[in-house]
Structures are given as structure tokens and as C-alpha cells.
Structure 1
Amino acid sequence: MLTNAECKNATCPPGKKRERLACSGGLYLEVSLAGSKRWFWKYRKDGKEGRMALGSYPDVGPKEARDARDAVKLQKSQGADPVMVRKVEKLKASRTDGDTFKTVALEWYAKQAPHWSPGHAQRSLRQLERDLFPWIGNRSMPDIHAMELLAALQKVEERGAVETTDRVLMLAQQVWRYWPPGSTQRDITEGLKSRLTPYRGKTFAAITDSVRLGSLLTLTPSKALY
């Protein structure tokens, strides 16, 4: 194993772009001709060799580098790809406002709205702002319990707006399906429909008069729509 003194005195020989000094367990210190020193862990995945950066010396000493190597080796032994885990962590960290329901819902809405009619887009945003954001908008997606969402939906029901309740639930379902929940999280909207007042939709009276039916069938397609 490399000592701190060996790391401090390590140099890259003239004529080489870099020098690699093995530590242990696939860990090595790479020294560039310019003098920079970086830790890497070498591993194999699907028969191919890869490497993962573990920091720069002297910010990361030999002991810290070995601890970091052990941590990513444990991830790999548990079936995770350490490089992908790091990428996901960086993506999460880049979201300064976190994965709150409001953040995720507005992100989903921004992608969907251009493909909707103006009326549908306005109604959907209004329902998010009125019926969901006040109750769960600032809550982190992983922390929202199904009963919290059910309580928000039941507040809509209490207004007697059964159809709106059904639409708001559908919005919530689409937001949860858009958000990548991870292997340990489930879609909390599952099963909530059975806890709400059933919405049967609207039906229209059938035309039983043969004369009126005949008149309808002879209308041009453009007139039949109005």
C-alpha cells in the first residue's frame, strides 16, 4: 500500500505522459507529467475494464482513497454500478429546489402542455395550483404518503366536484409516472381511485325518433360537430 510520503514524492518520469502507482485492490495513484496526482479505482464490468476517479492528492490521502475504494466496491458487490450511482447523485445535487411535488409537476407540465389544447392546458394547471400544490406542493416526492394525497383529493370531493376529483387524481398519477421513483418507491396513486366517489362520466340521451335520426345522418361532417 502507498504511504503518504510515497504519494508526496511521486513523480512522472520524463518522456511519459503519466505514471501509475499501484496501491491495493485496484486502487492506484496517477501522476501526470505536469505534476497533478489523482486517485483511480480499476474494476471490471461485463468483462470490460473501467475506472472510477476517487479524488485528487493531497486533498484525498491514501487512507481516504482506500476508504472510498471500499465503499464503491461494496456498491458493486451489491449489484449497483458505482459510476451510475455517482451520476445519479450528481443529478440530484444539481436540482437546488429538490424533488418537491410542485417542482416535478411543473417540469412534467412544461413538457406536456405544448401538445395539449389551450383549454386543457389551462384547466390542468389550474387544478394543480388549486387542488394539489397547497397541500403537497412543497413536500418531497419520496416523503409524500398516499394518505396525504387522498386527503387532498377528498377536499375536492367535499366541494361536490366529483368529476374534478377524478381529473386531479389522473394528473397526480401522470406526475408520479413521470418522476423516477427508484427501486424502493412505489406509485402512491395506486388504489386511491377505489377510495373516492365513483365518477361515471356523462351520457347523452339517445335519439329514438327516426326522422331526427335521419336528419342527423344526412348532415355534413362539419355540421354534425356543432
Structure 2
Amino acid sequence: MSKRIPPLADFAIKNAKPKSKDYKLSDGYGLYLLVKRTGVKLWQMQYRYHGKPQTISFGYYSDKNGRIILSLSDARDKRDDARRQLLKGLNPTAVRKQEKATALKEENNTFEVVARQWHEKFKSSWEEKTGRRILASLKKDVFPIIGKTPISKIETPDMVDLLSKIAERTLETAHKIKISCQGVFRHAVLTGSIKHSPMADMRNVLPSVKNNHFAAPTTPKDLAPLLRAIDGYEGTLVVKCAMQFAPLVFVRPGELRHAEWKEIDFEAKEWNIPAKKMKMKRDHLVPLSDQAIEILRKLQPLTGHSPYIFPGQRSLLRPMSDAAVNAAFRRMGFGKDVIVGHGFRATARTILAEVFYFRVDIIEHQLAHIVKDPTGRAYNRTEFLPYRRVMMQKWADFLDMIKENNFDPSPIILEVSELIAIS
């Protein structure tokens, strides 16, 4: 029978003095206090694993000032944990190394680190402006709060609290940040950093945002004075032509600004926009009316040597500013509650459907929205092209007529009725 070792007492540990050689004060079941000749007192445990002697250190009893770091009671708890691991067939030393490696990985796998990895991976699939906005919002509202927290330690209540505080300031921003953070956690799951996203189900965590549509005139009566003001604009020719061109093609402002001469086919009267410039990342074809071609012909002698149809004032190698058109509207006296550059899409969408009675799916396709046929297949870039050519020319004629205050919709509707019936 092995000799029972009497347990240590706190006073014995405190009074243990250094000697010429290191020595041990045993507590039983392999635990002992190593008193080094330097005066340092260290908790260790001896055990056997697969028949081989092993030693594991638990930590110092006190610091150099005598303050207790790891008490006798805490050291016994660690010994008991190690013994339970041995009963399970685990090596406590190997478990300790794995715990340290996991802790180090978590320390280096903070939310900010993973968020920047996510942003770097997906930024090429976003518009450049969108990528900058996403990162800026994370830097401002998220990184200061949870940026340095290991992503595996972030829980659902943490995210609810963060989003709720942002929503108190601006609900729309909170919704955008919610989407970004969901993307970060989804990326973390796919890369193995976490097993489950704390934002897997947060559908009702924020109130809904009221849909604020882009300001736009949606009746001939409201649209006519705006078109006449554009024709009378006294600013730069590039900006004026951009404002005249925008309602004729009703593309997104970014697509308009980045339009290049090489994308224009004057003979076919088409503008072919590559997928990388489109929001939906699909090639898009815009049939050009006679009026649109006329504007391009007028502008070509001025900007034809630039890659961009509407270059910036400071450099022909860069597109015009994203604020140029809206700033021109403001100078003409039209507030942002009346018109913004994006608004011509809503103008065309409404009037083409309600005045001309063109089929909604044809209009939506020209707006470059994802439209699917009855089989679920997305229409390709040339779908409905004959009808869209007619629609775009009739639309341009309509804009000319309302500027002259002589618009009667019935002749145009009658002219296209047969074509619409066939479609």
C-alpha cells in the first residue's frame, strides 16, 4: 500500500524558505509546490501517461511582491482537472498545449481581422463606392465596439445591443451594418473560425425602414419644366449632355458616369454596358434613340479623345464626379425632394407603364432588373430587343413633345399597340 501523503497547509506554503537547492512540498495525488533556490514557488504535478513519467506546471504561487497568484485551493482544482483528463485517456500536457494554441488563434482571429478578410475577398464583386462605404461603416460603428473581440466569443446579445445602439442614431445605417456583419459571420463559418453565426436569425431585431424612393417627377406635367430647364442649363457642356442623356436611357447614375465611347455602336444604335459596371453583374444593352445619338454626336468632338463619354473636369482619364448631375439640379433650383440623378428610372418606369401601357416585364428588363420567364430562366441581354427599340424611341419622342407642351398620348399608344399585342 502506497504511503498517504498528508495535504499541505497554507501556513506551510507561506513559510517555505529557499534553500541551497530546489525542493518540493507534496500535497498528494501528484501535486507539489516546487520551492526554487531563488525563492520562486511553482505549482507542478507529476503523473504517468502510457507508462512514462510526465510533469505539468500550473503556475506560480505568488508574485515577487508576495501577492498570491495561484492559491492552494486553485492548484488542487487544476490537479483534479488533470486527473479527470487522465481518466479519459487524455494527456494533460497535450490538452494544455491545445488550449494555448486555441487561445492564440482566437486572439489573432478577432472580429476586425475576419471582417477585413471578408471585405478583401468580396470587394471586387461590389461597386468601388459600395466597398468603401462598407469598410468605413465598420470602422466607425463596429470595430471600436467588438473589433478586438475574438469572433468566436461574440454572441447574439452582443450584436443585438450593438445594432440597437446604432439604430437609435439612424435606423437605415443599422440595417446596412446588420447585412455587413451577417456577411462577416457567414464568412467565419465557411472558413472554420466559428461553428455557428450569432446572427443566423435576426429578422426582427430592427424595425423596418420606410422605403424612401428616389425623388422623381412621374407625370408629364411635372417632368416637362425639368426637361426645359436642362436644355437651358448654362454650365459645362459635359454636365448638360449628361443631364439630357440621363432621361433618354434611364440607367443608374454610376453606369452613366462610367460610360465609355468604346461601348457605343453608332451604326447599330446601341450602348453595350459590360457586366462589371452593372449592379447585377450582367451585361446590359441599351437601344439608343435618335435623340440619344444626336447628343453623343454633339459631345464627341469635345470628349471623343477621352475613354469616357462624360469625363471629369480635372482629368479626361477619370469619369465625372458622382455629385456633378445632382449639383447641377440644385443650381437650377430643383431640390433633392424633386429630382435626383437616379430618379429618371422611376420616371420612365411609371410613365411607360401608365401612359404607354408597355408590358411591365419589358420595362423592367430595360431597367436592368433581374426578370425571369415562366420557366425561371433569367432573360438575356437581347431579350425583347425589337420591342425595347420601339419603346426607347417612343420615349424619346414623348420627352421632346412634352417640352413643347403639345403632347397627346393617343397617337403614340395607337402606333405601338399592334407591336405590344404581338409581344
Q: TM-score scaled by structure 1?
A: 0.49
User: TM-score when scaled to structure 2?
Assistant: 0.31
Higher strand proportion: 1
